[in-house]
Amino acid sequence: MSSQETPEENLPAERADDEHAHGAVSVADEKHPFADPGLPPHEHRIQDIDERAAKRSERTVAFLFTLSMLATVGFIASFVTIPADKIVYIFPLGHISGLNFALGMTLGLALFCIGAGAVHWARTLMSDEEMTDERHAIAAEPEVKAKVLADFKQGAKESALGRRKLIRNTMFGALTLFPLSGIVLLRDLGPLPEDKLRHTLWRKGLQLVNMNTNEPLRPSDVAVGSLTFAKPEGLEEHDHDFQTEIAKAALMIVRLQPDDIKDKRELEWSHEGIVAYSKICTHVGCPISLYEQQTHHVLCPCHQSTFDLADGARVIFGPAGHALPQLRIGVNDEGYLEALGDFDEPVGPAFWERG
Amino acid sequence: MKKLSARRRHPLAALVVLLLALACTGGLYTAFAPADEAQAGTTAQSLAIDEGKKLYAVGCASCHGTGGQGTTDGPPLSGVGAAAVDFQVGTGRMPAQQPGAQIPKKKVIYSQAEIDQLAAFVASLGAGPTVPTEAQYNPEGADIAKGGELFRTNCAQCHNFTGKGGALTNGKYAPTLEDVDPKHLYEAMQTGPQNMPSFPDTTLTEKNKQDIIAYLDAVNSDDSESPGGLELGGLGPVSEGLFGWIFGLGGLIAVAVWVAARTAKAKKS
């Protein structure tokens, strides 16, 4: 490329002697106020002048490549010979899978040695002469531009796109309609939740069932200081909608001394000090159950929101926006704990229309 | 028979009857000898309580009150049961060095015999959970998978999913469960030490507790298997991220420095 076509600003400062300019110093003039010091003089490596050193480097590179080959063979051998469930003790990793360890180590070694060999080769044996090159102009040359335009026009003419309007219009139609499939798929983002966020499975008369034993709970089963998780009667783990329902209905049941309960409504909604709260954090919906039985505080493991179960599950720390919803409970004729209705507010995190 | 009835008025007849009656009473008494043992048992029990009371007066009364009624420095002990004492003293948490957010585990300073005496005394203050028998806490044959499920539902929120422990509020924390004696695991679930809620048999049955102990034994002891390799404390993304940043990125930087470093030059002649 000739220097006339190169825009001025893309060029480094012109140098008096462009080729073999090691250590050349051009002189500053009006256009280029700073002198270009050029490249420092080239220094040779030991390998460039001492053949024995070069041979040594060659052997090192060959050794690394050979090691890589051996490691690959080792990889295949470990894959074939080590049983998948073999556990070995390796300090300081502990009792780990022998197969995983062997495969990882050999594969890692094989790859690392290829890379390390290539780097060592490039650093010690390949040419390290400094080279200078001019920047290319960004715009294409006029002849190239003209050729491309001519080719395009000829192509358009040969395809007869302008003449055969039926083809052109149907093609436009096909291209316009095709993206509709993508838009239709967006329907799967819906349907809108409607009032699903406002209701859970709980309703009047449903018994509270212990998640661990799958048995309905009696008031005497819940001791002061204990923590019990409950689900609504009738919801079983193998139900197809179990996860959807338990995500909203999960309960945390604790018993407080009725005198310790500061919130009047909480006391009214409890049964002999037994209170049932939603297990879903009102911040972003993590299951929250780090219950400190002496302070009656519940801590969320995700963002440390802290609720005081003795005071209407009021937020006392952290980002949660409102108290945990309480479920009103009582005892049925058979002496089991039962819900006296659904939660009176949506459980879990706030949402736009929650109000 | 005639002879016998003929001698009923013999002067020694009364004596013979008396001797027979005495022998009968003695025989009956011997036959009900277990009553004797029971009495000895109660004596041993009350002896243990007496010994325990002495130990209590020295080691515990300053915080828990002379009669276990509790003070501002320590909770009342009536109704906590022998299991709570066996756990707190048996893991060295009690006697505490100082009151605080959390009483840490430390060297056990009482012998098991002394712990049993203390437990007997505290149990006499009010009914509570008793020390479990080995049949109750032995994880042999328990369902490890079920234990894992129960652990993740009931315990993992504080103790981490492999029982490595975690932080709570204001300096409190859930301790690691690594290599905790099965008996102490059982007692902790039964009694709810410090801020841990309790899981009585109505919440978590004896079988459930055994399953949990078996799960911890499988995933969280010195010789548990970890096929994935280095656990990095089993703490999740914090330690794993730190390891990635320091050793992963550090290694890449080291290699980049090596690739771009100046090679050794020949000396200028």
Give A106-122 pLDDT, tens digit per residue.
Answer: 999 999 999 999 999 99
Confidence of residue B34 (pLDDT cuts 50, 70, 90): low
The shortest CB-CB distance from B198 to any of A97, A223, A290 is to A223
Phi, psi of A317 (to 5 degrees): -160, 150
What is the Cα–Cα distance from A18 to A205, expressed in whole angstroms? Answer: 94
Two tokens at B52? 């325990």
pLDDT at residue A284 in the model: 92
Among all chains, which residue has been given the structure tokens 């049993």?
A: B116
| Surface-to-core class of residue A193, CB atoms within 10 Å of its CB (0-12 exposed, 13-18 middle, 19+ buried) | exposed
Which of A208, A227, A238, A308 is the best mutation test for B, with the most CBs of B within 10 A? A227
A 163-202 → B contacts, CB under 8 A: none
Q: What residue type is A45 in one-letter code?
A: R
- Decide if B138 touches A, using CB distance below 8 A: no
Q: Give me the residue spans of the domains in chain A.
A: 46-124, 143-189, 196-339
B203 touching chain A per CB within 8 A: yes
Beta-bridge partner residues of A39? A22
Taken in order of first residue, the domains within chain B and their CATH numbers are 46-125 (1.10.760.10), 134-223 (1.10.760.10)
Nearest to A226, CA basis, from A279, A171, A296:
A296
Give the Å distances, CA to CA, from A71 to A62, A68, B251.
14, 5, 21
Token pair for residue B34?
């277990």
> What pLDDT is attached to residue B2?
59
What band does B49 get if pLDDT is binned at 50, 70 and 90?
Answer: confident
Helix/strand/coil for B174: strand
Question: Token digits for B195?
Answer: 């801020």
Taking an 8 Å cut-off on Cβ atoms, the answer to whether B229 and A96 are in contact is: yes
For residues A227 and A249, what is the distance between their CA atoms, to the nearest angstrom? 17
Q: Which residues of B touch A213 (CB under 8 A)?
A: 203-205, 208
* pLDDT given for residue A16 in this prediction: 42
User: How do residues A261-277 score in pLDDT, each as one tens digit?
Assistant: 999 999 999 999 999 99
Whether the Cβ atoms of residue A325 and residue A343 lie closer than 8 Å to each other: yes
For CA atoms A178, A184, A188, A189, the dihedral sign is: positive
Element (H, E) at A90: strand A87-90
| A108: helix, strand or coil | helix
What separation in angstroms does the CA of B196 have from each of A98, B139, B158, B166, B174? 39, 22, 9, 12, 8
User: Which of the pair, A219 or B230, is modelled with greater confidence?
Assistant: A219
**Chain A stretch 109-138, residues whose beta carbon is closer than 8 A to a beta carbon of chain B:** 115, 119, 123-124, 128
pLDDT score for A68: 98
Contact A227 B154 (CB under 8 A): yes
Spatial neighbors of A270 by CB under 8 A, at least 6 apart, are A256, A258, A261, A276, A329
Q: Looking at A156-160, B27-31, B137-141, B201-205, which range is the least confident one?
A: B27-31
pLDDT exceeds cutoff 80 at B42:
no
With a cut of 50, say whether residue A15 has pLDDT above it: no
Residue A91 has which token pair? 């300090």
Ranking A16-25, A341-350, B93-102 by mean pLDDT, the lowest is: A16-25
Cis amide prior to A92 (ω within 30 degrees): yes
User: Whole-prediction pTM value?
Assistant: 0.72
Highest mean pLDDT among A110-114, A188-192, A209-213, B224-228: A110-114
Higher pLDDT among residues A166 and A40, named by residue: A166
Which chain A residues are Cβ-neighbours of B223 within 8 angstroms? 95
| Tokens describing residue B72 | 């501002």
Fold of A196-339: Rieske Iron-sulfur Protein (2.102.10)
Which pair of structure tokens corresponds to residue B108? 């056990």
Across A222-236, average pLDDT: 92
A208, with CB counted inside 10 A (0-12, 13-18, 19+), is: buried
User: pLDDT tier at A19 (50, 70, 90 boundaries)?
Assistant: very low
Q: What is the DSSP string of A337-352?
A: EEESSS-SS--SS--T
Q: Which of A15-29, B68-82, B98-112, B245-259 has the highest mean pLDDT?
A: B245-259
Work out the burial of residue A190: count CB atoms within 10 Å of its CB; fewer than 13 is exposed, 13-18 middle, 19 or more buried: exposed
Residue B269: predicted pLDDT = 52
Per-residue pLDDT reduced to its tens digit, B214-223: 999 888 877 7
Please report the beta strands in B103-187, taking only residues with DSSP state E, as ranges in sequence order. Answer: 166-167, 173-174
Asked if A57 reaches chain B (Cβ–Cβ under 8 Å), the answer is no
